[in-house]
Amino acid sequence: MNVMEARALLFSVIEGGHSFWGQEIGLLGPINVAEKLVNLGYEGVKFDRINSATRKLNVGQVLESIAIANAQFITPEHDHWPVGLKDLAAPPIGLVVKGKSEVLLHSSLAIVGTRNPTNYGVRVAGDFAAGFVDREWAIVSGGAYGIDGAAHKGALIAEGITIAVIATGVDVNYPAGHARLFAEIADSGAIVSEVVPGSHAIPARFLTRNRLIAAISKATLVVEAAFRSGSLRTARDAAELLRPVMAIPGPITSPTSEGCHRLIGERSAEVVTSIVDAVEFIATHR
């Protein structure tokens, strides 16, 4: 078993962001962990599910399913592996990338926010995406409706690169209404997933993928977010990685800006009101 095959096996049976397996792979290496799994070296009830999945697995079929999805499987040994992922406590075992994997090496800004934005939020997300694209940055977001979609579209309209980090397989259009957008993203940028093709969305995967958005990007901008929001999780993940975090202020009466105001009030994010503000703030953290 080579490193690619070992990582493909582990990638298929282990959910992303699992601290125990992250430590095991870091300590023993992917080949040793994979062989130990194949030989049922992990005992106990808590390993029953993964042992069962491993016995049923055909690594060749996993790699073939990725190729059929017009994607590639990249690992930390790959030239295009995003260097920022090494800062994670539980880095991904591998990534499925549809599109151009080399764009993962670009300096990039994460733009995140609510799925139910105001017109103000949509405009700001698109404008900031275009502004950073003009400065030759890539835009990273989660492919969802709302602020995510506005950020991706802003980058594409400005003829720039955008990266969608999704919580499903790269062959699953989620949300379905973004099928055309995903095709456009893959054409010039990349769609990135931490699960095998065919995998559907479950709540936990949105939380674990948020850490990837934060780690791949050099900085994170929250445009609009509710008081309790997954976007705040992305911002906190970025802060834990010592990445610059910024937030756009909104009307004090707007529920969609409560999360941004919370970050600002807690001094977890810097207030920015222009692209120049954001560029200067990020520059001070280099």
Name the DSSP class of 182: H
Q: How far apart are CA 20 and CA 136, in angstroms?
A: 38
| The predicted structure's pLDDT at residue 150 | 98
| The predicted structure's pLDDT at residue 228 | 85
Q: Write the DSSP assignment of 212-258 as a string of letters.
A: HHHHHSSEEEE-S--SS-HHHHHHHHHHHTT--EEE----TT-GGGH
If 0-12 CB within 10 Å is exposed, 13-18 middle and 19+ buried, where does residue 166 land? buried
pLDDT along the chain (286 residues), means of 10: 94 92 93 92 88 89 96 96 95 97 97 97 98 97 97 98 97 95 97 96 92 97 92 94 96 94 95 96 88
Find tokens 């990725």 and name the residue: 66
Q: How far apart are CA 273 and CA 103, in angstroms?
A: 28
| The predicted structure's pLDDT at residue 223 | 97
CB atoms within 10 A of CB 107: 13
Q: How far apart are CA 182 and CA 4, in angstroms?
A: 27
Q: What is the dihedral of CA 173, 179, 182, 187, to 10 degrees?
A: 130
Q: How far apart are CA 81 and CA 277, in angstroms?
A: 30
**Among 239, 212, 234, 215, residue whose Cα is nearest residue 223:** 234
| The predicted structure's pLDDT at residue 285 | 82
* Helix, strand, coil share (%) of the chain residues, nearest 5: 50, 10, 35
Q: Which are the contacts of 175, defined by CB distance < 8 A and separation ≥ 6?
A: 144, 145
Structural domains of the chain ordered from first start: 1-68 (no CATH), 101-283 (3.40.50.450)
Three-state DSSP at 190 gives strand
Q: How far apart are CA 105 and CA 91, in angstroms?
A: 17
Q: How many helices (H) and strands (E) does the chain have?
A: 12, 9
CB 37 within 8 A of CB 51: yes
Handedness of CA 152, 217, 3, 28 (dihedral sign): negative
CB 163 within 8 A of CB 138: yes
Q: Which are the contacts of 278, defined by CB distance < 8 A and separation ≥ 6?
A: 109, 128, 132, 219, 221, 246, 272
* pTM over 0.85, yes/no: yes
